[in-house]
Structure 1
């Protein structure tokens, strides 16, 4: 490990939060800061099985932090089989620290930490904004220096839905409702059936006991039933108690909806979205109903990510919001017949 790169400790919390407040991320068209307050480490408990936060210090002798990066160990499906994988992300550097090789050192150490957590052959994944070609080249170059080839696997639509549609009549036989406690076993069974068909879908040992399962109440899950049979669901996770998004420039539609320019974005994430293949055309109904629910709970925006190769993409109600594009990079080349499942709530 470089003398300037270290693992974050609880005492580093104020400095970590300060860097997140100061360093924006996102695309050229929509920059934002992604904060983790009051507890920087709180969300990490739900992002994976294990994690490391790397920090870059201004010098080997200094305690001052000028950069950070995260490594998450996760259990997912790859080609229908349960595997451990690592995600790297959250790279931040203060402006004064750029140009000194610290980003390279953080990214290289992230791969070292991933291997320590999951073994030398652990697959490593990361996401880069499509309008950040320099970031794409840097990821691929640095991975090569560590003996990895980072392949561009697919492109993802990061969707942000805001517009409530005019009231429309639901298709006959379709019922949308919030879950109850007794619904959870059937939901877990449906996830176990559908998740293996998508690379990187989470693999759980037990929904009721896995400690990194999203901390949602039963009523935070929206169910889709057709003629009394469960055909799909998604969680609605408002993360403001763990993580806050602050837009640098607030779009007019959000101003008109009442979003404060200085406050955190009133955001909910779609979690663990799944639908039986025969009922993909009901995705717009699920999104619209989810928007109605989060509005009642104080949120304005519903976020989700979807692989552009996923058959569900055809049914995304793009007219209800806006999208940005990400590239998913990985150190392995899974079967292209499977789409990828990536979640904004867990990244």
Structure 2
């Protein structure tokens, strides 16, 4: 078969076939009487083998080794191809994500494009200061796509940067809530906690609904953050979790403040006092727990809280008894 016909049947150009011949990859078995290259069936099979290996990403040098080196180990080359392909996919995916985020920012001109690119780079910087400045800039003058802000907020470990990112996300609108809901479902506990902290910064019914979901989650830290936020919003469902926080000594001061705010509603004051008093019976709670409950009861109005404090004023632990007696004195003075 002459070179022109081989080119038509194989899809490999005559020029490339000559290039293969110059490299020693394939040589026509014979020549015609006129001196034209003539390829045998075996030559054509080798051409197809070359093209198949090239389609996997092999260089021509590796193709030659694969076809001619008896010691060649394809498994090693395949592993290397997998690694380099994965690196390329990762890089291309990162580029695609960056382009989509730039498009989502709807820039009006190249200056805005370049500014958005600079902020996106800054969000991924190793410098906490640069990340914080990027978050603040996004919130103030150059809004970044909400996907980029949420991703940064869920991954941020520096507390100062995290605060700036939560603020920026809160200013980006309700579009963040769906993404943050995904953060609440993350397999990583630290991501779930960052998600609930960020949700707490966003006002509105949508964020309240997500906080209610977090209130029933498996993590004490997530439940606690959700309870504090819901308590500040006047949601009574947070009361049991807030009482648990006081008993367990987790952000107990903040939890007591949240309960005090809820107790400003008379309908809730007796309920809250009853929940706190229910954790005291028989002195079974350890003295530090009784002291925290006493301090929490101090800011709860009503008869139930007063009765509990009166019992605590006779507590066997001096610190508990003195604290309860002092609170009762203040109530009497009021």
Indicate the structure with greater helix content.
Answer: 2
Higher strand fraction (1 or 2): 1
Q: Bin the TM-score by the shorter chain.
A: under 0.3
Report the TM-score when normalising by structure 1: 0.20
Report which structure shows greater RCO (CA 8 Å, sep ≥6): 1
Q: TM-score, normalised by structure 2?
A: 0.20
* Structure number with larger C-alpha Rg: 2
